[in-house]
Amino acid sequence: MSEEIRFPLLGEKFPSFEAQTTHGKIRIPDDFKGKWFILFSHPADFTPVCTTEFFAFQKRYDQFKELNCELIGLSIDQVFSHIKWVEWIKENLGEEIKFPIIADDMGSIAKMLGMIHPGKGTNTVRAVFVVDPEGILRVVLYYPQELGRNMDEILRIVKALQVSDKNGVAMPANWPNNEIIGDKVIVPPASDEETAKQRLEDAKAGKIECKDWWLCYKKV
């Protein structure tokens, strides 16, 4: 009977492990305590879609750093392959990859995190794990090998989570460009009659805006 693999669940502590990277050995999540980090896997070095993804991540590297968020790549290639690939990217595309890439050549980390799809051979699929400064897994994205990721969406996820955490609010679709409330954020829905009544009173007082007692929002 094969060992069951699964993603760590949202809200769980991210699994701990040590790994060899292009920047030396790192311990996850211990080495990133107090910071957000994004661990993302790619199928293989020296492949077209993965190359466009790494280029795109690096172009936004400073924006992630401004959010106190680190990037960590991973595939089952060996570290010398990672090193030659980032050299190729720098020499041919003019971008230096400044974040570490884990060399999971035995596949143990990928299996532990459910990054290997049984129907897609032994390569890792395009998984994305967003982890907060407390080491808690907040978001998981899972893409097929043939679909490159949207790095602006991943950047938006980190920004949105940070605004949500700081203000105790929820984030609408397409924030900060929501079709109903623009760049405003959603006040948590009332869970009792008294709070519902208070929501409408707050709206009358100009503290928040409401379409109804269950759909209230404000600027932050």
pLDDT classification of 131: cutoffs 50, 70, 90 = very high
pLDDT digits (tens, 9 = 90+) for 27-70: 999 999 999 999 999 999 999 999 999 999 999 999 999 999 99
Is the pLDDT reported for residue 3 higher than 80? no
pLDDT for res 47:
95
Structure tokens that stand for 166 in this block:
């700081």
- CATH number, span 168-220: 3.30.1020.10
The dihedral over CA atoms of 211, 166, 16, 39, expressed in degrees to the nearest 10, equals 70
pLDDT digits (tens, 9 = 90+) for 93-115: 999 999 999 999 888 998 888 88
For residues 195 and 131, what is the distance between their CA atoms, to the nearest angstrom? 33
pLDDT classification of 120: cutoffs 50, 70, 90 = low
Is the pLDDT reported for residue 1 higher than 90? no
Q: What pTM, to 2 d.p., does this model score?
A: 0.92
pLDDT classification of 197: cutoffs 50, 70, 90 = very high
Catalytic residue among 50, 69, 210, 216: 50
Q: In this predicted model, which residue has the larger pLDDT, 146 or 56?
A: 56
For residues 220 and 216, what is the distance between their CA atoms, to the nearest angstrom? 13
Q: DSSP secondary-structure letter at 30?
A: G
The CATH superfamily holding the domain 17-149 is Glutaredoxin (3.40.30.10)
The residue extents of the domains of the chain are 17-149, 168-220
Q: Where are the alpha helices (DSSP H) in the chain?
A: 48-59, 61-66, 79-93, 108-112, 151-167, 193-204
50 catalytic per annotation = yes
